[in-house]
Amino acid sequence: MPTTEQFDNIRKMDRTQIKAHILLLLKCRHFGHDCLINKWDMVQEIFGSDATQDRTYNNTNERRMRLAIAELRKAGYPICSDSAGGYWYAGTLDEVLAAAGELEARAKDLFETAEAMKQKARLEFGPQMKLI
């Protein structure tokens, strides 16, 4: 069990250190869907038990963890998640393809939402004049 001093050092970590800690944790102990870890358990593993006192969207440690995971994914690391808030390091190509499919579906939905907003705004505000 880590000491209070160790958790204090973890809390002071920059995002590079957090990402390294996440990769080590997932690759070593949460490899494959059958070994997923709940997001709050993961926050506790990374930042200590005090970090999970506030289990709302205002939890800065949970936010720091999600940002680090997003950066790792953008770098190509196959970190998967499910709607229940669990994370794992992909153990198979099928897990990667399923996770990538979910991301693509979310991206498509966001794109469609942006297009609908622009279309509605054009109707409401009329065409914008170009200055040049």
pLDDT reported for residue 85: 73
Residue 81 has pLDDT above 70, yes or no: yes
pLDDT per position as a tens digit, 2-60: 556 655 555 566 889 999 999 999 999 999 999 999 999 999 999 988 888 888 878 88
pLDDT confidence bin for 70, thresholds 50/70/90: very high
Task: Find which of 2-11, 56-65, 72-81 is predicted with most confidence, using mean pLDDT.
Answer: 72-81
What is 4-91's CATH number, 3.30.565.10, 1.10.10.10, 3.40.718.10, 3.30.420.40? 1.10.10.10
For residue 38, the model assigns a pLDDT of 93
Per-domain residue ranges of the chain: 4-91, 92-126
What whole-number percentage of the chain has pLDDT above 70? 87
- pTM for the complete prediction? 0.78
Token output for 91 = 């153990």
Q: What is the largest CA-CA distance in the chain?
A: 65
CA gap 116, 119 in Å, rounded = 5
* Secondary structure of the chain in HEC code, one letter for each residue: CCCHHHHHHHHCCCHHHHHHHHHHHHHHHCECHHHCEEHHHHHHHHHCHHHHCCCCCCCHHHHHHHHHHHHHHHCCCCEEECCCCEEEECCCHHHHHHHHHHHHHHHHHHHHHHHHHHHHHHHHHCCCCCCC
pLDDT tens digits, 7-22: 555 556 688 999 999 9
